[in-house]
Chains A and B, each alone.
Chain A
Amino acid sequence: MTFKIFILQFSKNKGALIGFLIVAIACVLALLSPIIAPHPPHEIFENAFRLPPFFSEGAHDHFFLGTDDVGRDTLSRLLYGARVSLFVGFLVVTLSASVGIFLGLLAGYFGGRVDWFIMRIVDMLMAFPSILLAIVAVSIMGPGLINTIFAVAIVACPQFIRIVRASVQSEVKKEYVLAARSFGATHLRLMLKEILPNCMAPLIVQISLGFSDGILNAAALGFLGLGAQPPTPEWGTMLADARAFIVSDPWLVTLPGLCILAIVLGFNLLGDGLRDALDPKLQRH
């Protein structure tokens, strides 16, 4: 499939375009957050506690989305939060994709015992639901953003391993591989140069979905108090923190939740669109 057809397919899909837009905007906002955020995320404004956002009565011009219970600007914290979330998503995907590609290639290419062994690891990891595995990690290492990333990345590995393995298995018997092998190509060369590029389509889709899963899981851990620790402006942590004010100042809970929903939805739409555009037959859900 050429790039042109891909673009054509992709742009026909409204959902995918919306997803792309959300993700792109989030990336821009996250990158530029130090420039566009009106205040530093940790700065406490005395006498500006729990101001409402612009559309409510009593809003302050200075704080577009109001302030939290200790007087920090909500907009700035949300912007920096995009940074944290995308950073988490990026690291999770990088870690899990590299491990997943490596093990998936080995399993699919060599088959036999190697495959069996790797699949048992996959089974084992699949037995730990993401939050449970994170709980294990946190009970050993203690809560924190970096530990969260590791935990969530480990959980995300099996998906990558399975996807890469499956497409390698279907590629490895094809003629071009056999041909390359008869020319005496090394295993490494075969795997990386011949097979892997042909497995890219499902991988790209999984990367996009990996972002959404990673961000959601990290936020859930933050919500449970096991992930990023305050005052890190992580959306899940912010949400958990604001629970006490859900009746009196509901926006403190609503806004971070909406942000999580938006970015996760963005990546999911993008992933769906990519799947349809790259290979209409690949349907996961």
Chain B
Amino acid sequence: MSFPQNTLRFHWFLPRILLASTLILLSCSLKRRDNQSFIYCSEGSPSSFNPQIFTDGTSNNASSHTIFERLVAFKYGSVEIIPSLAESFDISEDRLTYTFHLRKDVPFHANDRFTPTRLFNSKDVLFSINRMLNKDHPYHKVSGGSYEYFVAMGMNKAIRSLKAPDLHTVVMTLSSPDASFLANLAMPFMSIHSQEYAEALLKNKEQERIDQYPIGTGPFVFKNYSKDSVIRYKVNLDYWGEKPSLKRMAFSITTDASVRFQKLKTMECHFINSPSPADLEAIKREPHLKLEEGFGLNVGYLAMNTEKKPFNNPKVRRAISLALNKKSYIKAIYLDQAIPAKNPLPPTIWSYHDELKELEYNPQKAKALLKEAGLPQGFSAELWTLPVSRPYNPNGKKMGEMMQADLRKVGIDIKLVSYEWPTYLKKTSQGEHQMVQLGWSGDNGDPSNFLNVLLSCDGVTSGSNSARWCHPQFDQLLKDALLTSDIKERTRLYKRAQEIFREELPWVPLAHSKVFRAMNKKVHGYKMDPLGGDIFRTISLKKDSTQ
């Protein structure tokens, strides 16, 4: 049977309505956002909101630079140390006693379950430091009881006594002079928590909350966090310092670098962390975006677990070093936005050993070394690839594939493995890996911040030394370098340490990258932090006149 053609009028009706309503909807909701709400597209989930516990930059940005403050601080945009929660401080002649005079006008944040009844005082300082220092402290074991950074920086040994003569004075006595002590105090892990909050939680047996619902004194107040998606803050209206011009801030967690750029482009965020090198050109072309560039105080490396065979043999480690073609990684992974690394320290830090020559790519020599080490047939091993994109390694998985191809040429058969970031860090700090890609962005500008954290014997215990390499002579050099404040002498010692590193090669240092931040032109007042953090306290959003 057939139907007359005029019946078919109806079927254009529905699509038309649909099309029209879609267009109306789309045009209705064009983003109209005020200039006091700031969105930062961050690269990953924080592993905790307590800076005492973690060591990674992502978590720092989410808590140390927003919620918390320390006795002293780095001046915004530099590594100069300025007073913060301590109004002033005196250092004794023998450089063993530090006396801090605390501010008297600093309130703590409030949240829905806690409202502070008093201002910040010395009890808070004692609580914060004792939690890490004192194994019997009621909060020591909360959230795992591991204070990796505190231990790796030697703070547990450096602080001999800690006293508060009155509510506004704190006196610290050191066991030996330490040239980097003040810089250490300015670092995230020395953040000051509220003792009153801790006590209230203890009463309700909810100690864990202190690290999940943080209370600090900083310019931003933690509001809420949905896992893997968003962290919300509001501005601290009672902030003692210069108040931010923003009203609220959100971190939109976006792990994929290209998606971050897409969101920046569609104005779903104002600011993005580490854009993919592949997108830099496109960012420069966008009229409403700007790009800032700086030298990273960082190093990307491949650590070999020296506690496991065959990596306990320096010859094997050297062979791996020679077999990896760093220059090709710099081209493919960093898109030339990095320089090859030869030392564990980046060239922008003092005491960098520039006279040491680069280890050139040489697979033949690598094979010969493997033969000498009794492994002429090569061997097979696991290599863990960095699960997040970082300036020091924008694409760990890809680099892993390239390493796999390089190592296959010298007979080493690599299996690539990876875990989610917090798991990755945890497993690495427990030494479960054979070879692992990691990196470090300096956070106080002192060489000890690289060498002591990443390569000291204390670092093996605390877990931050992922090569698990404890070399007595090297370790002694690091210790000696902290006893003096004579820069020349310290430089000599650190250079000697870098020579030992070169002979032993517990890691293959890979690259020092440039760092980039891309943002909407509305963003004003941002300064690149030489220590790699993203600090938004002085940021403002303005209509851009150049647009």
Contact = CB atoms under 8 A, between A and B. Distances in A.
Q: Which of B259, B278, B395, B404 has the most CB of A within 10 A?
A: B278
Q: Which of A241, A243, A247 has the most CB of B within 10 A?
A: A247
Contact of B395 (A46, A229, A231, A244): A244
B328 interface: yes
Contact of B279 (A46, A49, A229, A247): A247
Contact of B398 (A42, A47, A70, A249): A70
Interface string B313-345: 000000000000100100111010000000000
A49 B256 contact: no
Contacts of B282: 247-248
Interface in B379-411: 389, 395, 397-398, 401-402, 404-405
B416 A244 contact: no
Interface string A240-282: 0101111111000000000000000000000000000000000
Interface in B234-277: 256-259, 261-262, 276
Contacts of B93: none
A248 B397 contact: no
Contacts of A243: 256, 258-259
Interface string B277-308: 01101100000000000000000000000000
Contact of A244 (B257, B332, B402, B405): B257
A248 B332 contact: no
A50 interface: yes
A49 B398 CA distance: 12
Interface string A42-79: 10101101100000000000000000011100000000
Interface residues of B, number: 26
A280 B281 CA distance: 56
Given A46-B328, A49-B332, A71-B332, A247 B262 contact: yes
Contacts of A42: 405
B382 to A, nearest CB: 12
A111 B333 CA distance: 61
A50 B331 CA distance: 11
B401 A248 contact: no
Contact of B402 (A70, A246, A247, A248): A70
A230 B332 contact: no
Interface string B442-462: 000000000000000000000
Given A69-B332, A231-B401, A231-B404, 10 more contacts: A49-B332, A69-B395, A69-B398, A70-B398, A241-B398, A243-B259, A244-B258, A247-B261, A247-B278, A248-B282
11 contacts: A42-B405, A46-B325, A49-B331, A70-B398, A230-B397, A231-B404, A241-B398, A244-B395, A247-B258, A248-B278, A248-B282
Interface of A: 42, 44, 46-47, 49-50, 69-71, 229-231, 241, 243-249
